[in-house]
Amino acid sequence: MIARYSREEISKLWTDETRFQLWLEIETLALEAMVAEGIAPQSALDSVRSKGAFDTERVLEIEREVKHDVIAFLTNVAEHVGEDARFLHFGMTSSDLLDTTFAVQLCRATDIILRETDALLLAVKELAFKHKNTLCIGRSHGIHAEPTTFGLKVATWYDELLRARRRVQEARGEIAVGAISGPVGTYAHLGPSVEKYVCDKLGLTPAPVSTQIILRDRHAALFTSFALLATSIERIAIEVRHLQRTEVREAEEFFSKGQKGSSAMPHKRNPVLSENVSGLARLVRSWAQTSMENVLLWHERDISHSSAERVIAPDATIALDFMLVRVRSIVSGLVVYPDNMQRNLDLTNGLVYSGTLLVALAAKGISREKAYSLVQGHALATWDELNTNTPVAERRNLETRIRADKEVTSLLSKEELDNAFSIDRHVAHVDHIFSQVFAE
């Protein structure tokens, strides 16, 4: 991932230096187990512990010659350790080292992602409770529907993010497995006890079976959970982008002092942070597809997955980490305009109560079709006046039209009409919804 969208903590997990350090740790742990099993002498372990080292540039230099990264690494370590290095990698295959290391890296990266998801959840929760009762219009198909509250809108973000977090947590468990099972996974040269020892020390579980590699459906589950989390994050970003539109302007990203919105138009304040998030989400979703392709390897293994994983694993985790931090800053700094929300709620002259009126009429015993027809006639007339050159002073809102309709007033009393055009029923169950969403 390019530096622009990278944070140092998670990026360090994917450096050559970190990878080689994990390789040396795993090779040393395997040697410890082999000494305990009587396969290697204690002197070899002592030598590796005291002299075991590597030089990243030297490893890369050797790799350019031998065209094999693990052999290059072992060659360089042997340059430091000497003769006892022959016990390193004894009975192992490259994938034992690569896949167990990959599991550690993915687990550590996922832990950062889970931590940042928790921080985002907290910010979303705070915003939801702050605007629990802030009235706004709900929209379907981009068109005004019925009243809701901004807090309820934000509560849906929390609910969705919580599910996304659970998926990532579950997928982390699936990839927290290691393998020291040798060529084609039969333990022909080292018994399962070595694998168990190494995995226990690394906080991993031995894979129940491996084919020389750890089966890639585990990794596909993780990258798919990342894609879903990225998509849930993007839903927040898209909502902010819509709410910041000039015609809506119910909320907007914080615009800092000295910030510039456009090189050509000095008045612009664009939702650039949210737009960045939308772009990165597209990438994270695409990498989930790649991870599924990686499941389909030939026989016990090929390495068609390797080149893809070298790209998607760092990029997906780094991008997702960046997205989480960025969206948290958007949520925490979001500027909300309740007055504009009320303005938009009133924009359609009471049309937002048409559904409530329909239910009230249907409850009086007339057919739903008849009730719908009565309400729609007045609703469309109200729309027409909003969309024509009818002077504002001459426009009649839906409530005025309905109260002048004798057929309607013969069915509904003044009190019943008052209730139909009241905001109260639309917010009556906000506390109930919040108690369900934020129960945990």
Looking at the annotation, which residues are catalytic? Answer: 141, 262
Distances (CA, A) of 118 to 68, 163, 324: 40, 12, 10
Q: Residue 146 and residue 320: Cα distance in Å, rounded?
A: 34
Burial grade of 395 (CB within 10 A; 0-12, 13-18, 19 or more): middle
Q: β-pairing, 205-206 with 177-178?
A: parallel
Among candidate residues 378, 418, 424, 380, the one with its CA nearest the CA of residue 402: 378
Q: Are 364 and 408 in contact (CB under 8 A)?
A: no
- Spatial contact of 75 and 51, defined as CB atoms under 8 Å apart: no
Q: Which two tokens stand for residue 159?
A: 């609910």
CB–CB of 332/123 below 8 Å?
Answer: yes
Where is 278: in which H helix or E strand? helix 272-293
Helices (H), 176-216: 192-202
Report yes or no: 216 and 297 within 8 Å, Cβ to Cβ.
yes
CA–CA separation, 172 vs 104, rounded Å? 11
Is the dihedral angle over the CA atoms 133, 137, 140, 146 positive or is it negative?
Answer: positive
Element (H, E) at 78: helix 69-81
How many residues would you count in the chain? 440
Distance CA 37, CA 234 (A): 52
Could you tell me the two tokens for 412?
């509904």
213 three-class SS: coil
Token representation of residue 135: 């009235």
Distance CA 153, CA 136 (A): 9
Residue 273: φ, ψ to 5°: -65, -45
Q: In the 3-class helix/strand/coil scheme, how is 341-402 assigned residue by residue?
A: HHHHHCCCCCHHHHHHHHHHHHCCCCCHHHHHHHHHHHHHHHHHHHCCCCCHHHCCCHHHHH
